[in-house]
Amino acid sequence: METNLHDYIVFSNDPGQINSPAFYDCVVHLLCRCGSAVLCYNGQSFEISKDRIAILSQPRLVRVEQMSKDFKCEYIAAPDKFLHNLLPANNYSIQGCVSLFSNPIIEVSADNAEKFRMDMESIRCRIDDIDHRFYSEMIGSLLQTMIYDLFDFHTRHNDNILTTDRVGYLTTQFFAMIEAGRPKTQREVAYYAHELNVTSKYLSDTIKRVTGHSISSHINKVASSIIIEYLKDNRLSITQIADEMNFASVSYFSRYCTKHIGMSPTQYRLAGAKNINANP
């Protein structure tokens, strides 16, 4: 995906395109500049007005129900997998995403809305700079700044982002386990269900209902982040990494990487070496 990253990152001010099929594998980060609109997201209605931000992790679930005549917005759509790989495995992003799936609207001050607008403007100004020899890394750093600003805005208004009932407890405990790095060696749903004393089906259904994503996708995202960090350390052989992460064989490890990272471990290291050796 990174090879053609330019084709997947979009800056737009057209609200009618938010749920375009082109964005189905993306996360949409939207700022309302003026007016108001009512968005239906995952079967619920949310109002967005001036200086409010919407984070839409599944654009296909969005429908604009109402829109004032003066409604104006601008947004950045970027691939979910690329965004995920920008951030470390153990961070606020996992539980924050759970909360934002339930309520995608972030209320911010006018100053922070302007800060977010400037983050998006920085990205917009560099999207077409495709001759940059480190295009993916450059765009990634700008997106990373935007995301951490959004984390800051969100945490200020969401100290307790999960409910305290049974569903909330299971969700919290599950994410605590994967944030602690257990997918390094434990990537089967049955393991987490056993630890939480529920059936695999019940846990899977609960996580899917709360987050909109399968439980396996959450496990594999964290495992992928751990793999990437290991692959960046050239002191470790691919065989050592496979053993450390409890893969049955190097060939299985390679297939897992190809499926969840988009390339084999060898290809990933070769791509990294080419970037390091490239001359400006």
- pLDDT band at residue 3 under the 50/70/90 scheme: very low
Confidence grade of residue 260 (pLDDT, cut at 50, 70, 90):
very high
Q: What is the value of pTM for the model shown?
A: 0.64
> Which residues, including other chains, have CB under 8 Å from residue 8's CB and lie 6 or more apart?
1, 25, 26, 78, 79, 82
Q: CA of 136: how far to CAs of 67, 97, 151, in Å? A: 35, 23, 22
Whole-angstrom Cα distance, residue 77 to residue 27? 6
Confidence of residue 168 (pLDDT cuts 50, 70, 90): confident
Q: Tell me, what's the pLDDT at 166? A: 73
CB count, 10 Å around CB of 142? 20
Q: What is the C-alpha separation between 122 and 142, in angstroms, rounded?
A: 7
Share of the chain above pLDDT 90, in %: 59
Which whole number is the average pLDDT over 261-270?
92
What is the chain's mean pLDDT, rounded? 86
Which residues are paired to 77 by β-bridges? 10, 28
* Backbone dihedral angles phi then psi of residue 50, each to the nearest 5 degrees: -50, 130
Q: At what angle do helices 265-277 and 215-231 cross, to 10 degrees?
A: 50
Q: Write out pLDDT tens, residues 112-131.
A: 999 999 999 999 999 999 99
Tell me the average pLDDT across 86-98. 59
- Model pLDDT for residues 135-162, shown as the tens digit of each residue: 989 999 999 999 989 988 887 766 555 4
Query: What pLDDT shows up at residue 184?
Result: 95
Helix, strand or coil, per DSSP, at residue 143: helix
- Report residue 280's pLDDT band, with 50, 70 and 90 as the boundaries: very low
CA pseudo-torsion sign 215, 26, 106, 136? positive
Mean pLDDT of 209-215: 84
Residue 20 DSSP code: -
